[in-house]
Each structure stands twice: as structure tokens, then as C-alpha cells.
Amino acid sequence: MTEPHEVAVVPGDGVGREVVPAAQQVLEAVADGRNTLEFEFTDGEAGDAVKERTGTALPQGTRELVTGADATLFGATGETSVEVVIPLRRAIDAYANVRPARAYPGVDALQPETDLVFVRENTEGVYAGHEAELAPGVTTLTRVITAEASERIARFGFEYAAEHDYDVTVAHKANVMRETDGLFLESVERVAGEMGTECETALMDALATRLVRDPAEFGVVICPNLAGDVLSDLAAGLVGGLGLLASANVGPERALFEPVHGSAPDIAGEGIANPTAAILSGAHLLEYLGHEEAGVSVREAVAETLAEGPRTPDLGGEAGTEAVTTAIVERL
């Protein structure tokens, strides 16, 4: 008997409740076929709906579930996102946000050569939570950059790049934010020196233009928090939409996996959400837990399904979430 992996499942709101069960179904199918892999899934509530009912978007029980689990599969929350996702990432010290953006054969992409991975600093920058209203009509935000967090994300990014055979580009705006991004850049370059590795540095605004025109030029892009959030959504547009982009929030001991997209209230409840992003998040979860081969088999089943169909309407198809999920499970 193998020890089961304890996985917290937090679907959240909107399409999170449709795509997370799809991803869980895929993980269950993968485990069914392998006697070295077993899961124990436990559900937790979070988001707009639970806040409406109980007054809190992130119940203590859910927080404890996530901090106690080996890994978490998260969906999306709606308006309460800042009350849920950011505290959960913080609770497991998930300092690295990994967001691959890859084009797939069969999916209409603006840039079919795209194959890059954003490694985003996930704990500070302008998302550190230091905002204030000084007076009516006057607000401020404090941007936090520390050497420690910058070095930590750099190390993660360079190791990830070496493991997956990517070049590294570092996004920054140190010409304007001289103190904060100056420190970020200096820290990343110091780590590169220590690790004996090369990296290109690029101003993040110019980088945005280059990403659109020639994404194939890039591999791993190490970014400060806000830049990583914006640039990865930009890259989603290059490869065929948010329904495809998975992400991992990795801490020293635990990790939380989630689609990049939100609760998509415009299509929620219709059964047409693309489950790909959530299922690929599940593949990442498998790899994180040491089941590399199982993760790859999910990625292959997803790629085949994207190439041959069925596809959801966001990709020009007519199939629903369930039909796509079933097709992926059948190809496993």
C-alpha cells in the first residue's frame, strides 16, 4: 500500500465549481490506473457564496485544510479573490507562481510558436497589501521588494529553467523604480552569478512588445509580482485564451495549483467552461508530488484532445466541460 496524498480541493465560485471537479475526475482516473498513486481528496469552501452565507470568504476550516494538505487544487473565486487566494498563497508561503503559456496544435493561436513559462514573485511587490487613502481623492500604495524574496524567486526560476532547458529573461523596470526594481535586478543577477548561469534582463514594457511579436524568443521569464500577473495574461491571449493557462503556487513545503482564469461569471452554470487550465493544473500537481510520468500522461491526453477535439466554445468548438473531460479521461 502506498500512503495516499492528501489533496485539498477548493472549487470556489462560478466556473471553479465546474472545472475543478473535471480536474479531480482526471486525477482519480490517473490514480485508478496506477497502484503506486493514491489520493485522499477533502473539499473546502471559499469565495463569494460562502461569504454571503457565513460572513467570511475564507473559513478557518478551509485555511487549515490547505495548510495541512500535501497540495491543493483550487478553482477560482469571484469578487472575494483578494480575501481568499492571496491569504491562501500566504498561508503556505507560496513564493513562486509558475505560469506556463504554451500554444497547442489544433488551437487557433495568435502565436503558435509560444512556449514560455512565467516565474512570478508571489509574495510582495505592489500586492503586499500596503494601500492607504490619505485623504478623500488621494491614495497611496507601498511597493515592497526585499533581497531575500528576490533571491528566492531567482533561485527557483533558474533551477526551473535548467530543469526544463529554457533560457531566462528577467523583467524589471529598474530605470524608473530605481530602489525597488534596482534591488530586484541586483538580487537576481547576484544569484545568476552564484549559480554560474546566464540571464538576459529586459525592461518590462519593451518586453511586452517583444512577447507579442516574437514569443519564441523567450523561455523562462522571471518577473516581479504585478508584471508577472499582467504579462502572463497577455501570453494567454497569444496561445488561445485563459481557458488554457494553468498555474502553480509553490512554497517551501506545500503548493496550490489553480487555473489562471477567474470565476468567469459570464459563462458560469452553462456547463461550457474549458476544463483544460484546471486539468493542466492537476498535471502540475502530479509532477509536484513526484509522479512525473502520470503528469506527462495527463499533458499528452490534453494535447491530443485539443488537437482532435472535442473542444469547448472558447476554442471554437461546441462541446461542454463534461464531454471534453470524458474525452481526456478516455485518452489516458
Report the interface residues with ligand NAI, using CB under 6 A.
15, 19, 76-79, 81, 85, 242-243, 258, 261-267, 273-274, 277, 314
In the bound state with ligand NAI, the residue whose beta carbon lies nearer, of 57 and 188, is 57
In the bound state with ligand NAI, the residue whose beta carbon lies nearer, of 126 and 264, is 264
Q: Which residues of 24-41 are buried (b: 16+ CB within 10 A; e: fewer)?
A: bbbbebbbeeeeebebee
Asked if omega into 310 is within 30° of 0 (cis), the reply is yes
CB of 86 to ligand NAI, least distance (A): 9
List residues near Mg ion by CB under 5 A: 229
Choose, from 32, 43, 205, 214, the residue flagged as catalytic.
205
The yes-or-no answer on residue 160 being catalytic is no
Which partner from the list ligand NAI, Mg ion, none does 79 bind, CB cut-off 5 to 8 Å by kind? Answer: ligand NAI
Choose, from 93, 115, 167, 233, the residue flagged as catalytic.
233
The yes-or-no answer on residue 127 being catalytic is yes
- Rounded to the nearest 10°, the torsion over CA 297, 99, 8, 315 is -60
CB of 12 to ligand NAI, least distance (A): 6
Which partner from the list Mg ion, ligand NAI, none does 129 bind, CB cut-off 5 to 8 Å by kind? Answer: none
CB of 159 to ligand NAI, least distance (A): 25
Which partner from the list ligand NAI, Mg ion, none does 117 bind, CB cut-off 5 to 8 Å by kind? Answer: none
CB of 111 to Mg ion, least distance (A): 20
CB 114 within 8 A of CB 103: yes
Tell me the CA distances in angstroms from 108 to 204, 269, 316, one per residue in order: 26, 25, 9
The yes-or-no answer on residue 93 being catalytic is no
In the bound state with Mg ion, the residue whose beta carbon lies nearer, of 45 and 229, is 229
Question: Cα separation of 207 and 39, whole Å?
Answer: 41
Choose, from 127, 160, 166, 288, the residue flagged as catalytic.
127
CB of 248 to ligand NAI, least distance (A): 13
Choose, from 173, 181, 288, 314, the residue flagged as catalytic.
173
The yes-or-no answer on residue 13 being catalytic is no
Choose, from 13, 48, 181, 229, the residue flagged as catalytic.
229
Paired strand residues for 171:
202
Residue type, 91: A
- Could you tell me which residues come within 8 angstroms of residue 283 by beta carbon, excluding any fewer than 6 positions away? 246, 295, 296, 298, 299, 302
CB of 269 to ligand NAI, least distance (A): 12
- Could you tell me which residues come within 8 angstroms of residue 107 by beta carbon, excluding any fewer than 6 positions away? 239, 240, 244, 306, 311, 315
The yes-or-no answer on residue 115 being catalytic is no
Nearest to 94 by CA among 264, 219, 258, 290: 258
Which partner from the list ligand NAI, Mg ion, none does 229 bind, CB cut-off 5 to 8 Å by kind? Answer: Mg ion
**Given the DSSP bridges, would you call strands 168-172 and 115-121 parallel, antiparallel or unpaired?**
unpaired
In the bound state with ligand NAI, the residue whose beta carbon lies nearer, of 97 and 169, is 97
Q: Which residues of 155-184 are buried (b: 16+ CB within 10 A; e: fewer)?
A: bbbbebbeeeebebbbbbbbeebeebbbbb
DSSP assignment letter at 3: P
Closest-CB residue for ligand NAI? 262
**Residues recognised as catalytic:** 127, 173, 205, 229, 233
